[in-house]
Amino acid sequence: MGFLGSLLGIIGFGIGIPLGLLLGFLLFIYVEPGDVKEPISRPIHEFDTNSLLDILPEIPLWVKHPDYDRIDWLNKLLSDMWPYLDKAICGVIKSTAEPVFAECIGKFKLKSVEFKNLSLGTIPPSIHGIKVHETNENELVFEPAVRWAGNPNITLVLKLLSLQITVQLVDVQLFAAPRIILKPLVPTFPCFASIAVSLMEKPHLDFGLNLLGGDVMAIPGVYQYVQDTIKKQVASLYLWPQTFEIPILDGSVGSTKKPVGILHVKVVRAIKLLKMDLLGASDPYVKLSLSGDKLPAKKTSIKMKNLNPEWNEDYKLTVKDPESQVLQLHVYDWEKVGTHDKLGMQIVPLRLLTQHETKEFTLNLVKNTNPNDPHNKKWRGKLVVELTFKPFIDDSELFSGSLHGSGKREDMVGKGSEDVSLNRAGLLLVLLQGAEDVEGSHHNNPYAVVNFGGEQKKTKTIKKTRDPCWNEEFQFVLEEAPLKEKIRIEVMSRRTGFSFRRKESLGYVDINLNDVVHNGRINEKYNLINSRNGVLHVEIRWKVI
């Protein structure tokens, strides 16, 4: 029977395969398929919001908003660099957190706090679009839309008395829209001095927190409380206009220090100066300047044939760093022919001064600042000066006060703040950043001339260009606010080789300083008068003392 069953199985297999193939062929040839129903198609505008969210993935911002740019290349870069960024960021987190942990040890019976695991996971954040803002400021502003659904493994181990508590952060989701500002732009690598970060809206943060093996966030009421607390804390610290600033370059290297006040110098008199002329007395005058200042030194009048001259002359110098700058005083004997003889010198550190307090100094003149030089023991006379340092009023003080719901300040808004800025002396700062599309009839070697208050100041000449970039600042110390005055800035071009016209005007602009005084600052681009397409970029500040 076994043999017969096997034989029948072989025969059935041999007959079944050809018969099945023949039957399938006949069905394929002679049986017509039924009508296939076409899928129902509907215009997308007929769907409501919930239906669209069901059938479409999350739409990136560069699709919804035309002012956002698509940057797939940056996401690819983040993806490739993420393993290295993960280690670098975790290293910073660890080095920052360890001192904080050290301060907590000993408090609340806590014996130790340490990271058991610290990794941001394998999933990098993605940027759904980036928006770049164009401003007249010396800065670069952009806003990336950051999305991160990560799988970090961050585990803390706390030893509390005899207990060991494990806290683990998992399943983090972060949606944020930061504003990143690189400022100021400087001619030193990496070409910006600091990074300022602020949030344009409250971030969305979701995460799981495992404590002793259980998810704390699953406890009713805890999740919403933690969410609200984090959003409030982050908003109070970093929500615009609050910023988190990261310095990149040292101020002395990356950017020029801004003026912080005015030094009032009164050169009173000199006592028993050296007699340099064989047939008569000396003809003294004083040169005074601040260390680190590139402006020309100021000079007193010349007192002819006088070893005990009295000047009683006042001068104002712009101070940038009162802690490190010194006032340099040099007394010379004027000569009609040849170089002027040096009678003596002395310095006064500004850190010896108290703000708004006038202090008199009687200085023994020396040959130089080397204390070991034997020539400094020789009598050279004395110089009497009076010094007063007056710092500028900060904008936060000028416009201080609590905020109304409308965003207006209570204390200094309106007449109060205007009286402070109008009734005081101050410093007018004129920064000529550059020009665009300036064109001369004979040559294009532009420079700018600033005319104000009877003074004329010039920038350097940029050769063979229609878009010069000067980035030069000029200062005018004024006794009162220039409410009814104008400043004229003219772009000129001078020849460098052979030309029939040595100079020619490329356009000018007259700026009313009334707005500068009331606002404290303007930063605008002005169309040049008598120029086809020329534009001048100027920043003007008014600092009150």
pLDDT along the chain (545 residues), means of 10: 64 71 70 65 69 65 75 89 89 82 73 83 88 83 88 82 78 85 81 85 79 70 75 74 78 62 93 78 91 86 91 92 91 85 92 93 90 84 94 63 39 47 79 90 89 90 90 87 91 75 87 89 91 91 86
Predicted pLDDT at 526: 93
Give the Cα separation of 90 and 99 in Å (integer).
Answer: 15
The residue whose two tokens read 């500040």 is 541
Distances (CA, A) of 484 to 165, 454, 512: 71, 15, 8
Nearest partner of 288 among 337, 240, 345, judged by Cα: 345
Strands 244-247 and 192-199: antiparallel
Q: What is the pLDDT of residue 371?
A: 80
Q: Which amino acid is present at 65?
A: H
pLDDT at 94: 84
First to last CA, the chain: 121
Please tell me whether residues 506 and 458 are part of one structural domain: yes
Tokens of 478: 């004024």
415 is a domain residue: no
- Where a domain ends, among 221, 247, 273? 247
Does one domain contain both 58 and 149? Answer: yes
Q: Is residue 137 part of a domain?
A: yes
Q: Specify whether 243 is located in the same domain as 288.
A: no
126 & 216 share domain? yes
Q: Which residue, of 193, 220, 247, is where some domain finishes?
A: 247
- Let me know whether 113 and 207 are in one domain: yes
pLDDT for the residue numbered 74: 87
Q: Are residues 491 and 384 in the same domain?
A: no
**Same domain membership, residue 235 and residue 86:** yes
**What domain range includes position 76?**
50-247
User: Which tokens in the block code for residue 160?
Assistant: 């509390």
Q: Are residues 381 and 505 in the same domain?
A: no
Q: At residue 281, what is the residue type?
A: A
Specify if 413 maps to a domain: no
Tokens of 465: 């260009």
Neighbours of 67 (CB within 10 A): 12
What does the DSSP 8-state code read for residue 512?
E
- Amino acid code (one letter) for 437: D
CATH of the domain at 377: 2.60.40.150
**335 vs 330: CA distance, rounded Å:** 15
Q: Is 428 exposed, middle or buried (0-12, 13-18, 19+ CB in 10 A)?
A: buried
Instruction: Out of 370, 391, 412, pick the residue that ends a domain.
Output: 391
129, 104 contact by CB (below 8 A)? no
**Residue at 256 is within a domain:** no
Same domain assignment for residues 277 and 372: yes
Q: Does residue 242 sit in the same domain as residue 266?
A: no
Query: How many Cα atoms within 13 Å fall on the side-chain side of residue 306?
Result: 14
SS3 377: helix
CA distances for 269 relative to 79, 208, 387, angstroms: 72, 76, 13
Secondary structure of residue 268 in the 3-state scheme: strand
Residue 349: cis peptide before it, omega within 30 degrees of 0: no
| Residue 94 falls inside a structural domain | yes
Q: How far apart are CA 62 and CA 49, in angstroms?
A: 19
Does residue 450 fall inside a structural domain? yes
In a domain, 36, yes or no: no
How many residues can be counted in the chain?
545
Q: Is residue 341 part of a domain?
A: yes
Q: Based on the structure, what is the number of domains in the chain?
A: 3
My answer on whether 233 and 280 are in the same domain is no
- Angle at alpha carbon of residue 541, lines to 416 and 545, rounded to 5°: 55
Residues 307 and 373 in one domain: yes
